[in-house]
Amino acid sequence: MYSIDFQKKKGFICDMDGVIYHGNQILPGVPEFIQWLNEEKKSYLFLTNNSGSTPRELQQKLARMGLDVPEEHFYTSALATAAFLKSQAPGCSVYALGEAGLLNALYDADITMNDIDPDYVVIGESQNYSLNTITKAINLVLGGAKLIGANSDVSAPGEESTVPACGALVAPIEMATGTKAYFCGKPNPLMMRTGLRLLKCHSEDAVMVGDRMDTDVISGLESGMSTVLVLSGISTPETMKTFSYRPSMILDGVGDIVRAAKGEV
């Protein structure tokens, strides 16, 4: 591991769950971090694997917590999924299990809903996941639909406890059909390349900040970015030891980035 000169970095890609907030609680040091990004005129993007919310909803969520972050600073696995499908099969149809973020992104990409003979079955985080919907998805995949997952995260930090995420919801469909899903969110390099393009930033000048080794750190590492693992979310020093790769830096939270940039850490 080595120290990062944060002052010299031009762009920051940050995960949200476990980095910026837990549920509806802003994490310590976050207001100072966002203030520092704005004051230093850094390019930044909040990149979340959660497909449930639209960028506007995420902007409003942070506003309710007292943080003013414009809508263009958010990019989600739902947008990455819709962009991928539009590039692969323009005008295709899908059977989608997900929340407003995923459904809106698909509609905006001119993708139609179809629960009879869709081209794809698309799974995101969903409050309406049930035996009926999973049975429908399984039989559509067995009937020839291709299986897409918004992201491969199997769990996410909730306010009170850990909650199942998209990868865990896709797993029963994979097992029942013998079909492997293609996941569009982190650590898929397509999502990271889009993030860097939105930042107008080269990977060498960018930092990936996240709380997960298996999505955030690996995606930053494989994209040629410096990586910061924060211990404010799902990872601990113990879980980190199970991986064969390392982040550039390990910090308690994003507030430490500001302190490191000012030479206080």
Q: Which residues are catalytic?
A: 15, 17
Token pair, residue 25, equals 């609680």
Which ranges constitute the DSSP H helices of the chain? 30-39, 55-64, 77-88, 100-108, 131-142, 166-177, 189-199, 218-222, 237-240, 255-261
Q: Among 60, 104, 99, 53, which Cα is nearest to 75's?
A: 53
Question: Terminal CA-to-CA distance of the chain, rounded, Å?
Answer: 15
Tell me the Cα Rg of the chain.
18
> Is the CB of residue 10 less than 8 Å from the CB of residue 196?
no
